[in-house]
Chains A and B, each alone.
Chain A
């Protein structure tokens, strides 16, 4: 039963009004302004001139911007697909093992989620530094030839940044998948084992269909965090060497606040927003349809 508030029709609106006012003024209105900006050539100082869709055309044609979106796709592999693959195997192994210490394990692997990305980036810069932990390890096992400035090398900078994302995401994805797998009744696995189904087949036939909602959440969260990567790139590489690690978020910042291309920056931001909405919609639609 859902009773109407007794003090008149205005009551619900009065409760919503303060939240809506702040939300409207500092989120919805700026979102609309960003769309407006994106149709202008605007340097942030003088009055802008309307340019129609030119800023959006630039997203498709400008090599720098195309590269940025390409890098974001590469990061999706590192932030999302790799952790999902690793997380599935780890969660399947751990959820049915009779081991102690799972709560402590969960606390530890979830830790990167609560630490500021800037702090993690500082830590990983030290690991990737010329005299850092990674090169020390390589030298210790006699692989001196492989040592390099991981974040300063055109060939390795983007994967190096991506692996930081893999490290951050894998714990979250594993914890999420374990929660889903814990729901599957043990008897199903026992029956499947008796029928001679291999662990790989059990994973495919029993586990995967059951944890589809968790997979959808894991993909949504991690793909979006890959698309929105900013702090990590800002602190580790600044988009370099050259433009080899620049990403859409970093281009928004650079173009709006360093190059004075505010209209172009707004267009990149709008495209990014559309992508984030699309990922949400597509991943959840697919998960729902197959449920």
Chain B
């Protein structure tokens, strides 16, 4: 069961709190709940608001007082966050497209076909969901350096495609297992081959599951830190979080510029989250619940 459905069910049934009988206990409970609700929300937002406020405040007294949106332009150009964001966008594009396509195909096979070794292969993919980046990044760096892949987009992207494919295979298999068998049979009787069944029948109706996968992979890739840190030692290719971390290490002054950079780095995922939040919450909670 997902948090979203649970929540919807709750919202649909606005019944009383604990049946303590008289409404006074219930009213106190309600008041306390509001205090906790607001207090907790403020605590969660506090650090975020601090950064946004700092990003908008003038660096020096000479810059005047009041809001200073100019900081974002400065961070984009002088702070080179424009370059970092472009690198991140490119890496995210490669990882999302590759991981989604590969996961749809493998999930389709695991979810709808019988074949020898299916169980073993599937557990092999499940294993990858748990393997921490830390352990693979060390040999990856030395082996990809030998192949000349460090300091390239591929060196940053391919290890993340592999990680996302492990989760994506698990996620898409779960979706394909729930699809209607008769739909597949009907398409087959019409003469559709396995590719037609997948791309013309199952993928269009599986858009919600695929959207969730795309969003999660985008978020993980955009926010990833260790892989770009290790795989691009020359510093020519910096993703947004990496650029932010190094910017912070480099300048002790320039807190407004740093804060503006931080807001820029967070913005793409936060905007997508605010628009499509049910996908995020559902995906992150359900994705964690193994069978």
Is A145 part of the contact surface with B, judged by Cβ < 8 Å?
Answer: no
Interface set, chain B 35-61, CB cutoff 8 A to A:
36-37, 40-41, 43-45, 47-48, 50-51, 54
Give B116's nearest chain A residue, CB to CB. A9
Is A142 part of the contact surface with B, judged by Cβ < 8 Å?
Answer: no
Given contacts A15-B194, A94-B36, A262-B142, contact A119 B130 (CB under 8 A): no
Is A289 part of the contact surface with B, judged by Cβ < 8 Å?
Answer: no
Is B236 part of the contact surface with A, judged by Cβ < 8 Å?
Answer: no
Contact of B10 among A95, A107, A167 (CB under 8 A): A95
Given contacts A6-B188, A6-B193, contact A194 B139 (CB under 8 A): no
B226–A19 CB distance below 8 A:
no
Query: Smallest distance from the beta carbon of B31 to chain A beta carbons, Å?
Result: 9
Q: Which residues of A contact B284 (CB under 8 A)?
A: 113, 172
A39 to B199, CA, bound (A): 47
Q: Which residues of B contact A224 (CB under 8 A)?
A: 130, 132
Interface set, chain A 85-113, CB cutoff 8 A to B:
90, 93-99, 101-113
Given contacts A107-B274, A115-B270, A179-B2, contact A2 B34 (CB under 8 A): no
A249–B134 CB distance below 8 A:
yes
Q: Mark B168-204, 1 if CB is under 8 A from A, else 0.
A: 1100000000000100110010000110000000000
Q: Which residues of A contact B34 (CB under 8 A)?
A: 99
Is A52 part of the contact surface with B, judged by Cβ < 8 Å?
Answer: no
Tally of B interface residues using CB under 8 Å:
113
Give B32's nearest chain A residue, CB to CB. A93
Give B145's nearest chain A residue, CB to CB. A44
Q: Which residues of A contact B226 (CB under 8 A)?
A: 230-231, 249, 253
A112–B36 CB distance below 8 A:
no
Interface set, chain B 260-274, CB cutoff 8 A to A:
262-263, 265-266, 269-270, 273-274
A253 to B181, CA, bound (A): 48
B41–A183 CB distance below 8 A:
no
Is A33 part of the contact surface with B, judged by Cβ < 8 Å?
Answer: yes
Contact of A183 among B1, B54, B240, B289 (CB under 8 A): B1
Is A154 part of the contact surface with B, judged by Cβ < 8 Å?
Answer: no
Category for how many chain A residues contact B: 35 or more
Is A161 part of the contact surface with B, judged by Cβ < 8 Å?
Answer: no
B223–A117 CB distance below 8 A:
yes
Is B82 part of the contact surface with A, judged by Cβ < 8 Å?
Answer: no
Query: Smallest distance from the beta carbon of B168 to chain A beta carbons, Å?
Result: 8
A248 to B273, CA, bound (A): 31
Give B111's nearest chain A residue, CB to CB. A2
Interface set, chain A 109-156, CB cutoff 8 A to B:
109-127, 133
B188–A3 CB distance below 8 A:
yes
Is A212 part of the contact surface with B, judged by Cβ < 8 Å?
Answer: no
Give B128's nearest chain A residue, CB to CB. A27
Given contacts A107-B277, A252-B138, contact A19 B102 (CB under 8 A): yes
Query: Smallest distance from the beta carbon of B49 to chain A beta carbons, Å?
Result: 9
Q: Which residues of B contact A190 (CB under 8 A)?
A: 18-19
Is A273 part of the contact surface with B, judged by Cβ < 8 Å?
Answer: yes
Q: Mark B231-272, 1 if CB is under 8 A from A, else 0.
A: 001000000111011001000000100110011011001100
Q: Which residues of B contact A268 (CB under 8 A)?
A: 134
Give A15's nearest chain B residue, CB to CB. B109
Q: Is the interface of A mostly helix, strand, loop or mixed?
A: helix
Q: Which residues of A contact B290 (CB under 8 A)?
A: 284
Q: Which residues of B contact A170 (CB under 8 A)?
A: 44
Q: Which residues of B contact A50 (CB under 8 A)?
A: none
Q: Which residues of B contact A11 (CB under 8 A)?
A: 109, 113, 194
Is A7 part of the contact surface with B, judged by Cβ < 8 Å?
Answer: yes
A1 to B188, CA, bound (A): 14
Query: Smallest distance from the beta carbon of A283 to chain B beta carbons, Å?
Result: 11
Query: Smallest distance from the beta carbon of B205 to chain A beta carbons, Å?
Result: 18
Is A280 part of the contact surface with B, judged by Cβ < 8 Å?
Answer: yes
B270–A2 CB distance below 8 A:
no
B223–A116 CB distance below 8 A:
yes
B138–A115 CB distance below 8 A:
no
Q: Which residues of B contact A217 (CB under 8 A)?
A: 285, 288-289
Query: Smallest distance from the beta carbon of A150 to chain B beta carbons, Å?
Result: 14
A4–B113 CB distance below 8 A:
yes
A176 to B4, CA, bound (A): 10
Query: Smallest distance from the beta carbon of A269 to chain B beta carbons, Å?
Result: 3
Contact of A19 among B17, B169, B273, B274 (CB under 8 A): B169
In this complex, the member of A115, A174, A176, A276 whose beta carbon has the largest number of chain B beta carbons within 10 angstroms is: A115
A98–B40 CB distance below 8 A:
no
B47–A114 CB distance below 8 A:
no
B11–A118 CB distance below 8 A:
no
Query: Smallest distance from the beta carbon of B39 to chain A beta carbons, Å?
Result: 10
Is A208 part of the contact surface with B, judged by Cβ < 8 Å?
Answer: no
Q: Mark B133-146, 1 if CB is under 8 A from A, else 0.
A: 11111111111000
Given contact pairs A118-B241, A265-B138, a sample of 8 additional A-B residue pairs in the complex whose CB atoms are under 8 Å apart: A30-B143, A33-B139, A167-B44, A193-B20, A224-B130, A252-B138, A269-B134, A276-B130
Give 5 closest A-B pairs by Cβ, nearest first.
A97-B33, A269-B135, A33-B139, A26-B162, A19-B106
Q: What are some 17 contacts across the A-B interface (CB < 8 A)? A: A4-B114, A15-B108, A18-B105, A27-B128, A30-B159, A106-B3, A112-B48, A113-B280, A114-B273, A114-B280, A115-B48, A116-B240, A179-B285, A199-B18, A253-B229, A256-B141, A272-B134
